[in-house]
């Protein structure tokens, strides 16, 4: 029996029994419109967040954003970051709940939303079925804290009625039978672009650009896609077991589902403190513990990977400098090795403090997309990506985020992310290419990064 709910100055809170696996709680809303699960990888991170049925939604397609809510549907060509800010401002929240998120915006910024910020070449046209931005405004959230082994349902007063609140408590406390779900499987071989020969041609073109002084690093990716059948939530449950990650997510939008096991944090904002944790540098895991440890040490001391990581650290320091107080930006941790199910990664942490007048959305706009998935310098790298990759990236290499009514934000980089829409699945795998990269090693890195996604759908 759940303890009684408590009314806060800002809303309501209902403590729940701590779940060993938050995915079991998400089953209660997995098929709901705009259902979203921010997944810390079964405790690799601290918090999981669950929400569904937003009261308003914003979807951006090219230069137009559709806003759907209680008053119907409207359309705007205003900057989508500003539109999201204005929508959130209608529901200002005061006071602390003790939890990281108690309602607000949840959704993603797709990679090609950058076209609303900068002038970029357009070789491919539209990116497919997914919008450039998709956010819902959620009046409630279920949050699980794995550090303190607690869980709570939270809601905003004025945005949720008493009967809906009671219904939510019932939904997450009463036992429900599991719904049978067929596994997510491809029905044909994956189409991969570019293949081995095409990858080699692109690699050589990138090396030419680097040696001619156009850029220092290009994050080049390959696309995998195929027809598929089965349930995307079942696919995500399998994927998160194969490759748990601290910034994973499942998101069901009207256009399709995102299944992400991202290991990379993009931007976090709490009060005025910003942190970002770029990944650059990868080695495969090995079944032999001695060889596995040697691969991690090889990565830690690799001059090539450290230089690649440092390029992106410098890029992000520059991006943060556009909205942080002078002198506040610090590199907190340089060249840390983090290990995941299939790969070791080289990670650095950078922090800063926002200037007065800046907020989560201006921070995101100044830094978007993340430098670790573009290269350096950013704009020239993105132009070369547009020239050489086979299609627009869509959600891939964008950022899935929460932005609370209180102004706090956390976000990932949408790598290791599978899309499911209209009976087709797709995903990408890439890596940073620099002057001393070797073609075969970079190609094998894309194969290793795609491994868990391929296993999930085969």
Cis-peptide into 194, omega within 30 deg: yes
- The average pLDDT across 328-349 equals 94
Examine residue 287 and state whether it is found in any structural domain, yes or no: yes
The answer to whether residue 5 scores a pLDDT higher than 80 is no
Instruction: Return d(Cα 36, Cα 58) in angstroms, integer.
Output: 15
The answer to whether residue 78 scores a pLDDT higher than 50 is yes
Examine residue 316 and state whether it is found in any structural domain, yes or no: yes
- Report the chain's C-alpha Rg in angstroms: 21
Examine residue 192 and state whether it is found in any structural domain, yes or no: yes
CA distances (Å), origin 107, targets 53, 95, 262, 374: 12, 24, 15, 21
Count of domains forming the chain: 1
The answer to whether residue 60 scores a pLDDT higher than 50 is yes
- The average pLDDT across 265-275 equals 97
**Model confidence band, residue 249 (pLDDT cutoffs 50, 70, 90):** very high
Examine residue 114 and state whether it is found in any structural domain, yes or no: yes
- The average pLDDT across 166-171 equals 94
**Model confidence band, residue 95 (pLDDT cutoffs 50, 70, 90):** low
Q: What is the DSSP letter of 341?
A: S
* The pLDDT of residue 2: 45
Domain residue limits at 98: 6-457
CATH of residue 379's domain is 3.60.120.10
Examine residue 223 and state whether it is found in any structural domain, yes or no: yes
Of the residues 32, 96, 280, 378, only one is catalytic, namely: 280
* The pLDDT of residue 156: 83
* The pLDDT of residue 94: 62
The answer to whether residue 43 scores a pLDDT higher than 90 is no
* The pLDDT of residue 46: 94
Examine residue 1 and state whether it is found in any structural domain, yes or no: no
Query: For 426-450, what is each residue's pLDDT tens digit?
Result: 999 999 999 999 999 999 999 999 9
Examine residue 97 and state whether it is found in any structural domain, yes or no: yes
Of the residues 94, 148, 188, 264, only one is catalytic, namely: 264
- Answer for the pair 239, 418: CB distance below 8 angstroms, yes or no: yes
CA distances (Å), origin 318, targets 9, 81, 304: 40, 21, 22
In the residue annotation, 270 being an active-site residue is answered as no
In the residue annotation, 179 being an active-site residue is answered as no
Intra-chain end-to-end CA distance of the chain, in Å: 42
**Model confidence band, residue 318 (pLDDT cutoffs 50, 70, 90):** very high
Examine residue 374 and state whether it is found in any structural domain, yes or no: yes
Query: For 128-165, what is each residue's pLDDT tens digit?
Result: 899 999 999 999 999 999 999 999 999 987 788 889 99
Residue 29, both tokens: 């809303």
What percentage of residues in the chain have a pLDDT greater than 70? 97
């Amino acid at each position: 029996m759940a303890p009684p709910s408590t009314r806060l100055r800002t809303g309501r809170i209902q403590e729940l029994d701590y779940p060993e696996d938050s995915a079991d709680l998400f089953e209660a809303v997995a098929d709901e419109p705009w259902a979203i699960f921010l997944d810390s990888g079964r405790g690799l991170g601290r918090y999981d967040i669950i929400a569904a049925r937003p009261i308003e939604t914003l979807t951006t397609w090219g230069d137009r954003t559709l806003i759907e809510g209680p008053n119907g549907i409207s359309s705007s060509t205003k900057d989508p970051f500003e539109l999201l800010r204005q929508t959130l401002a209608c529901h200002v929240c005061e006071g602390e709940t003790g939890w990281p998120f108690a309602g607000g915006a949840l959704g993603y910024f797709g990679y090609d939303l950058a076209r609303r910020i900068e002038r970029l070449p357009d070789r491919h046209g539209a990116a497919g079925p997914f919008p450039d931005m998709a956010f819902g405004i959620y009046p409630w959230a279920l949050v699980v804290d794995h550090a303190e082994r607690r869980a709570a349902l939270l809601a905003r007063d004025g945005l949720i009625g008493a009967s809906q609140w009671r219904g939510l408590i019932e939904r997450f406390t009463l036992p429900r039978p599991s719904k049978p779900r067929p596994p997510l499987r491809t029905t044909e071989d994956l189409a991969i672009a570019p293949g081995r020969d095409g990858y080699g041609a692109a690699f050589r073109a990138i090396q030419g650009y680097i040696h001619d002084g156009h850029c220092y690093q290009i994050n080049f990716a390959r696309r995998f896609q195929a027809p598929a059948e089965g349930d995307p939530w079942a696919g995500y449950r399998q994927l998160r077991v194969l490759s748990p990650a601290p910034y994973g997510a499942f998101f069901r939008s009207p256009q399709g589902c995102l299944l992400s096991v991202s290991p990379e944090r993009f931007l976090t904002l709490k009060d005025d403190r910003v942190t970002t944790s770029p990944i650059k540098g990868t080695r495969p895991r090995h079944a032999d513990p001695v060889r596995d440890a040697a691969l991690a040490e090889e990565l830690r001391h690799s001059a090539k990977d450290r230089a690649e990581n440092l390029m992106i650290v410098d890029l992000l320091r520059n991006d943060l400098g556009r909205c942080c107080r002078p002198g506040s930006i610090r590199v907190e941790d340089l060249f840390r090795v983090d290990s995941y199910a299939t790969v070791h990664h080289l990670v650095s942490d950078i922090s800063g403090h926002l200037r007065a007048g800046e907020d989560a959305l201006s921070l995101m706009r100044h830094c978007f997309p993340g430098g670790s998935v573009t290269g350096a310098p950013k704009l020239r790298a993105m132009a070369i990506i547009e020239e050489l990759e086979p299609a627009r990236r869509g959600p891939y290499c964008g950022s899935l985020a929460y932005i609370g009514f209180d102004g706090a934000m956390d976000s990932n980089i949408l790598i290791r992310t599978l899309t499911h829409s209209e009976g087709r699945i797709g995903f990408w795998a890439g890596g940073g290419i620099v002057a001393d990269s070797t073609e075969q090693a970079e190609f094998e890195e894309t194969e290793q990064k795609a491994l868990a996604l391929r296993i999930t759908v085969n």
